[in-house]
């Protein structure tokens, strides 16, 4: 794992406390989306197709900081949209860092070099730069040439100023294992702290539905990539058991409450990827969501998902309960041959419901009355 020991210890102590308190469900990472607006239009993105009145919305500094307090998770990830388009992003980040939370600011890096001097290097702040492959693959994935070069230049500038920097990457069904391996080698040479990798999952609003991975393909792709990675020491900053799950060696159920999402509409049910409604408060999200009705095997929309927002918390909980298993996988790496772990049967899943259009309509109506306010 590429995460510093101090951060691992803080998260471990938090998990231990939750267990001692007897909490069945608790958050590990807050996904804080302060805006949906972006300066790119990637083909696989399901976050930027809202009406303008929604794209203009911002969570205020106060709303962001109170979401951090309400949730209490030790790690806060700030995706978007593009967070660096938020005029108050520095105040938001500084405020969260002052609370002793570990912040991952996700960015496509187009504005990173320009805004770098406004941020202060800290053990609590990591820039998580979106890179989906080497130059050709990344510029194709973000539908714009030159973005890879600007992202790499920003990564180098941030590293030179002493910031923690990681890379987040999504693999789609056209990913070629040898190219992915070359990309991970390159990222390692760049000297970033870690790489977060996730399979593209075709949630309903991503416009390019054809190029996402289903579960079988995901497991095969990751096995082939990990086979190439033996001995190459790629610095993944995910838990070893989540990587083992991606390679098809763990039967895990999704635990989306581990990564709750606060965005301009409120607290999103059930997860970062699916938009099935909103709670006004974090407490309402945790207590009034019918969690058993989501996840692979429970809900048709979840059938193919192996995304880290649902399964990384499961893997972390498993690692805490079974440290020897976790250590064995960490030492030998994910298994890349043999039978896959049993898959969760899909014969009892409930059919998909399509609520998104109605939710957006009601949000647009509310924004006509109060343009800069979050609905929650
Ligand atoms: S950079 Fe991120 S938020 Fe922006 S369009 Fe691409 S995937 Fe979507
Ligand atoms: S399986 Fe879990 S993380 Fe994936 S879409 Fe369903 S609820 Fe969200």
> The domain that contains 338 carries what CATH number?
3.20.20.70
Residue 114 lies in a domain: yes
Indicate whether residue 273 lines ligand 2 (CB < 6 A).
yes
Is residue 317 included in any domain, yes or no?
yes
103 upstream amide cis, omega within 30 of 0: no
88 to 71, 94, 145: CA distances (angstroms): 21, 10, 29
Task: Count structural domains, the chain.
Answer: 1
Q: What is the pLDDT of residue 367?
A: 60
Q: Can you tell me the mean pLDDT for 115-142?
A: 96
The two three-digit tokens of residue 112, written as one number: 């990173």
Read off the pLDDT band of 263 (50, 70, 90). very high
The pLDDT of residue 2 is 73
* pTM summary value: 0.94
Assigned token pair, 17:
């406390």
Please check the confidence at residue 44 and state whether its pLDDT lies above 80. Answer: no
Residue bearing the CA closest to ligand 1, atom 3: 81
pLDDT band at 207; cut points 50, 70, 90: low
Residue 55, in any domain of the structure: yes
Judge whether 244 lies within some domain. Answer: yes
User: Tens digit of pLDDT for each residue in 177-204?
Assistant: 999 999 999 999 999 999 999 998 876 6
Does a structural domain hold residue 375? no
* Residue 173: inside a domain: yes
Overall average pLDDT of the 74-103 stretch: 97
DSSP 8-state class, residue 272 = S
Whether 374 is covered by a domain: the verdict is no
105 is a domain residue: yes
* pLDDT above 70 for 320: yes
- Convert the pLDDT of each residue in 135-179 to its tens digit: 999 999 999 999 999 999 999 999 999 999 999 999 988 899 999
- Measure CA 286 to chain center: 19
pLDDT at res. 174: 86
Q: Which tokens hold the place of 279?
A: 């709670």
Pairing of strands 266-270, 261-263: antiparallel
Q: Is 41 in the pocket of ligand 1 (CB under 6 A)?
A: yes
CA–centroid distance for 354 within its chain: 23
Q: Which of 156-170, 241-255, 359-373 has the lowest mean pLDDT?
A: 359-373
Mean pLDDT of 239-251: 97
Residue 50 CA to ligand 1 centre (angstroms)? 13
Domain that holds residue 263: 5-369
């Amino acid at each position: 794992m590429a995460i510093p020991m101090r951060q691992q210890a803080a998260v471990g102590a938090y998990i231990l406390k939750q267990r001692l308190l007897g909490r069945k469900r608790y958050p590990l990472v807050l996904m804080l989306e302060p805006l949906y607006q972006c300066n790119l239009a990637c083909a696989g993105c399901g976050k930027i197709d809202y009406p303008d009145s929604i794209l203009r919305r911002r969570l205020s500094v106060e709303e962001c900081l109170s979401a951090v307090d309400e949730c209490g998770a030790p790690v806060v990830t700030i995706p978007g949209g593009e967070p660096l388009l938020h005029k108050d992003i520095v105040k938001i980040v500084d405020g969260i860092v002052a609370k002793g939370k570990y912040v991952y600011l996700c960015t496509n890096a187009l504005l990173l070099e320009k805004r770098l001097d406004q941020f202060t290097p800290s053990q609590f702040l990591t820039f998580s730069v979106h890179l989906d492959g080497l130059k050709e693959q990344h510029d194709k994935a973000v539908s714009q040439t030159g973005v890879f070069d600007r992202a790499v230049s920003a990564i180098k500038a941030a590293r030179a100023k002493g910031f923690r920097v990681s890379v987040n990457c999504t693999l789609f069904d056209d990913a070629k294992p040898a190219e992915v391996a070359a990309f991970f080698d390159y990222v390692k040479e760049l000297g970033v702290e870690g790489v977060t990798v996730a399979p593209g999952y075709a949630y309903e609003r991503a416009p390019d539905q054809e190029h996402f991975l289903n579960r079988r393909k995901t497991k095969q792709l990751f096995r082939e990539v990990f086979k190439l990675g033996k001995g190459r020491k790629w610095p993944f900053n995910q838990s070893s058991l989540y990587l083992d799950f991606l390679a098809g060696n763990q039967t895990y159920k999704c635990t989306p409450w581990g990564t709750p999402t606060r965005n301009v509409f409120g607290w999103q049910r059930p997860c970062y990827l699916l938009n099935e409604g909103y709670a006004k408060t974090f407490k309402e999200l945790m207590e009034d969501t019918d969690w058993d009705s989501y996840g692979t095997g429970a809900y048709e929309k979840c059938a193919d998902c192996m995304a880290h927002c649902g399964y990384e918390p499961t893997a972390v909980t498993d690692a805490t309960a079974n440290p020897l298993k976790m250590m064995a996988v960490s030492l030998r790496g994910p298994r890349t041959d043999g039978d896959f772990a049993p898959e969760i049967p899909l014969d009892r899943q409930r059919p998909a419901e399509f609520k998104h259009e109605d939710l957006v309509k009601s949000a647009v109506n509310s924004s006509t009355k109060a343009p800069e306010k979050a609905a929650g």
